[in-house]
Structures are given as structure tokens and as C-alpha cells.
Chains A and B, each alone.
Chain A
């Protein structure tokens, strides 16, 4: 995957072989946030405004899943013809939160089941302004995991 391809959102995730979503962690109460929060902690018992940018766990378990059978409206940029894609909600054990994302190309809902171990990957997707496309995070069932 070319390093020249830019992420679809700046500062939301790292790229490479072992990508991570970039979240933040409250310096006081240690709560995690995704997308990263750097203004004021949302824990009602914490009034901190200090956060560390952290890499969130790049693996988790599948909480639920679905797919998109119809092309979403803008700002989504779809390849033509539109190919349906699966979507995963993945629970991160350490952060105790659920994060959404598309499922990697080639894996459909029939290959998914709640509880599967999933890992984060990056894939190139079409972009309205960039002919090379942009990178986005996706979830992929880990090797040996299949419904």
C-alpha cells in the first residue's frame, strides 16, 4: 500500500501493517475517547481538560454487524458500480467501548458472527478529489476466525 495515499480523515488513525485508531485518554480519570476528545472530559465526575493521544486496541470482538446494500449519499464516495459492503461494531476490551467501521473488502455478513475476534486494517477507498483514493480503517476477522 503506497505511503503517498492520504487518510480519509487526518489524525484519526495510523497506517502501515499494524494500524491503530487514534483516540485520547483523559489525564485525570483515564477514560478513553474515539474520535479523540481534547476539550473537556465527558465523565460528569471529572473536570479535566488534559488528554493524551493514544493508540486504541487494534483488536476486539464483534458486537454486531450489518451491511450496506444501497449506495450511501454524499459525502460517501462509492466505486462504480456500487458493491455492497459489510459493517462491524467491534468491542474493545481494554477501552470498554464499541467502535464502528466497514469490514474489509471480500468479507460479507455470511462470514460474520457475534464474538469473532477482529483486527483493524487500512484499505484504499475512492475519493472525490484524489484519483489515487484515500485510506480508511476497516475491521477484518482475524486469521482462523470464521462464522
Chain B
């Protein structure tokens, strides 16, 4: 398809709590991606950074920060912020630049450092900020994940054991992933023994926060051919569509959904992949594997349904039959997902594309999905927006 670009290099700094600057993580990921692509840094004409809001000036202008750290060489820069969808928006900017013929090769990069404990709002008395308001009345991030999880239990009959099975599966997947923070297998009993955070979700149902970095070298198909990488995996679609009013999913940091009195209630999670499938010219039946936003175990099940990998309410059954394990018919989170990585906000949407690239090249070692041809990602942002990327080979 004419709208495609190639992924010729991927790199990741191992995730964890390393206590270093986000710039260090990003530079390490970028150098690995450049080495993987086998191209000189000076060939990169566009640097698209995903912003990290915790690190002051350098984080707000992440594209320029990384370009400076790697050595100014006259490339154009861009910085994107969209919470957990930041990486996809940075990738979308690079794709547009390449497809418009304004750059042949781009570096797309995101890295983060995270504080311990709950993510908290900016300081001060700010009742105009919905993020401040919801914390004032006691609504933290896990509240939202738990409301979705409990809703699954009430509507579809999912159980806490089903949620635990997602953790057990993802831990097995990430066990041999050298970039993952947690490389340890767990049993359902381990999950059940962990502390309750937001009923029905326990500590091990909710992903941790991590430091981490991920980078991609993307280019025009013409450039890929010229350097002998005509068969590199391709970005076939990127969807960053917003919901259509009225948004029916209660999302961080809002305290209420849109009112659906004059417009039908819509779900952004269902809308996102529709645009991606349409753009790639494929359907859910073509998908070999998915890397989805498992901020909580239960959220992975929601995303399987929103990506239409199964019918509404059928994700737990698919999980129970083993279909989403590596070796099953449609592995979900073969990397180990956020369960094994933890959240490094501007890096995670790019880390998913790194994983799909390794999988499509057959370089994933023990976590390899055999015969993988098409991978899809899903991410949530804030207020009910997100991103989805399709990578094909």
C-alpha cells in the first residue's frame, strides 16, 4: 500500500527503576536502533520525540533534547504529548513527514523516569483542573481500571481468577524478555495473595511505574530498498482518532461521561481499531498477535474485545482456552506487556512497535510467535482518546 513506511531499526533501554535521566534511556535506545538499522546518525532528517512531563524543559522538548544528546546534525524536530499514546503520535508525525516526501529517515523516540507510588496531580489549589478535582474527592488512577474490571464481572461473569490468569500468562511471556523489568513467573495463588488495591484488582493485577526508553528508525520504502531492507516490517496503519461525542467510557481524569441525550453513546476504544483496520486494508481475522495496554489485567480483556479479536464478553473464554498464550491461535502481549515492563509513559507505545518488529522478523527467541505476519497495538491516552498501530510483513 502506498501509505506505508518501513521500520528498519528498533531499540530499547531495559525497563526498571534505574535512577538515571530519561535522556540516558532515550539515547541508549536510539543508539541501539541506529545500530540495528545499520545507518549513520547523519542520515536521520527528522527526530520525533514523545514528551515526558516530569522532567522539566528537557522533557517538554524531548525531540530537541534527544537530537542534542545524539549530536546536532541539522535534522528537523518534533515533540508530541498524548499521555500513554504519545509514542504513537510521535510515530504518526514521522510517518506524515516521510509520506509527504519531506524526510526519508526519522528517529522516533520516547523515554521516561517515574516517581514511586501513585501518580499524583500537579500541586496547588486548582479546582479548574479535572485531575486536581478527582484526586481531591478520592478518585485515583486504579479506580478507573477497577471500575472497568468490576463491570466485566457484573455483566459478563468474569472472575478475579480470570484476571489473575492474565498476569500469569503475561509473566510467562516476559520471563525471557531481556528488556522487561520483571522476569519472574507467578501463579494464580501469588496474585490472590497480593494486597487489594482497588477491588477487584490486587497489586499484581495493576502495572507498576518504570523507567524505560524505546526508539524506532523509520523510513520511506524507497530508502529501505536502497539500503537492502526492502523486506523490513512496515507500519501499515496508525490510528489516533478521538471518540465521537457522546463518549460513553468514563476515563481519567473525568468524573462523568458525556451525556447521551442527543447523540448516541460511543466508545473510543472500539472506534480506534476500526480506523486502523480500514487504513491497513485488513480485518481482525488477519491479526497474528496483539500488544495491548494492560494497565490492569482486566483491561487486557476489554482491549481484546475492542480490537474485535473476539466477540463482546468473550475475552475471558478465549483466555481460558489458552488462545492468547504464545503457541495459542492469537497471542496477546507476547512481550509480557505492561505487567512485565511497567509504565514508562512516552516510551510504551513505541515499545509495543519494537516488540512487533522483533516478532515479525522472527527475532523474539523463546517468546517468538510462530509465523507472525500482522501485529496490532492499542493504547489509552487521557479523557478517552488513544492510539492503535498495525505492523505487517
Choose among B142, B143, B150, B259 the residue that contacts A32 (Cβ–Cβ < 8 A).
Answer: B259
- The reply to whether A35 and B133 contact each other, CB–CB distance below 8 Å, is yes
Q: Indicate if B317 sits at the interface (CB-CB under 8 A).
A: no
Choose among A42, A87, A94 the residue that contacts B258 (Cβ–Cβ < 8 A).
Answer: A42
Complex CA–CA separation, A31 to B262 (angstroms): 6
Q: Indicate if A53 sits at the interface (CB-CB under 8 A).
A: no
Q: Indicate if A22 sits at the interface (CB-CB under 8 A).
A: no
Question: Would you give the shortest CB distance from B299 to chain A, in whole angstroms?
Answer: 13
Complex CA–CA separation, A113 to B153 (angstroms): 10
- Chain B 133-159 interface 0/1 with A at a Cβ cutoff of 8 Å (1 = within): 111111110110011111100110000
Question: Which of B120, B132, B261, B263 gathers the greatest number of chain A CB atoms within 10 Å?
Answer: B261
**Among residues 1 to 45 in chain A, which have CB atoms less than 8 Å away from a CB atom of chain B?**
8-10, 29-35, 42-45
Residue in A closest to B195 when the chains form the complex, CB atoms? A69
| Size class of the B contact interface (CB-based, 8 Å) | 35 or more
**Among residues 202 to 223 in chain B, which have CB atoms less than 8 Å away from a CB atom of chain A?**
none
Q: Which residues of B contact A100 (CB under 8 A)?
A: 134, 139, 143, 147, 250, 255-256
A32-B261, A43-B263, A85-B138 as given contacts; A66 in contact with B146, CB under 8 Å: yes
Instruction: Report which A residues bind B (CB closer than 8 A).
Output: 8-10, 29-35, 42-46, 63-70, 72-76, 85, 87, 89, 94-102, 109, 113-115, 136
A64-B150, A73-B120, A136-B137 as given contacts; A96 in contact with B260, CB under 8 Å: yes
Question: Would you give the shortest CB distance from B64 to chain A, in whole angstroms?
Answer: 31
Dominant SS among interface residues on chain A: loop
- The reply to whether B154 and A98 contact each other, CB–CB distance below 8 Å, is no
Q: List 27 A-B contacts (CB under 8 A).
A: A10-B127, A31-B263, A35-B256, A43-B262, A64-B151, A66-B143, A66-B149, A68-B138, A68-B140, A69-B195, A69-B198, A72-B135, A72-B138, A72-B140, A73-B120, A75-B132, A75-B135, A76-B135, A76-B136, A76-B137, A95-B261, A97-B257, A98-B257, A100-B256, A101-B137, A102-B137, A114-B151
Instruction: Report which B residues bind A (CB closer than 8 A).
Output: 117-118, 120-121, 123, 125, 127, 130, 132-140, 142-143, 146-151, 154-155, 195-201, 244-246, 250, 255-263, 265
Q: Which residues of A contact B195 (CB under 8 A)?
A: 69
Residue in A closest to B154 when the chains form the complex, CB atoms? A114
Residue in B closest to A34 when the chains form the complex, CB atoms? B256
Q: Which residues of A contact B197 (CB under 8 A)?
A: 69-70
